[in-house]
Amino acid sequence: METLTEKEQDKIQYGLLLLKTQERLSTKFVKFVQDGVFELRTEYNGNIYRVFFIFDDGNIVVLFNGFQKKSQKTPGSEIDKALKIKEEYYADKQSSNSRL
């Protein structure tokens, strides 16, 4: 987020607020990607931004990588990165729970 302008950050923060406070959002804002990974969709000043996330235990939103989208199709490399982060998240969570 540090590389974005203040207005771009504000727009993404607004999307995150909607995600946090609204029970359902249209596909204009949220889209299922694959394997439990979703993308938060934000558009500002002709630029498209995406932040991948998952739901954990049905209510906790865990944010992953984000990127500025430059084409219609979400790049496979960005999806792969999000899936890897998801795997690492659940591995770390399982490891933490087994230590308790």
Q: What is the CA radius of gyration of the chain?
A: 14
**Considering the entire predicted model, what is its pTM?**
0.84
Kindly give, in sequence order, each residue whose CB lies less than 8 Å from that of residue 85, ignoring residues fewer than 6 positions away.
52, 64, 65
Please report how many Cα atoms fall inside a 13 Å half-sphere around the Cα of residue 19, on the Cβ side: 26
Kindly give, in sequence order, each residue whose CB lies less than 8 Å from that of residue 91, ignoring residues fewer than 6 positions away.
none
Cα separation of 21 and 39, whole Å?
A: 16
Return per-residue pLDDT of the chain as tens, 100 residues.
677 889 989 999 999 999 989 988 999 899 999 999 999 999 999 888 999 999 998 777 788 888 888 777 888 999 999 999 999 999 998 888 877 6
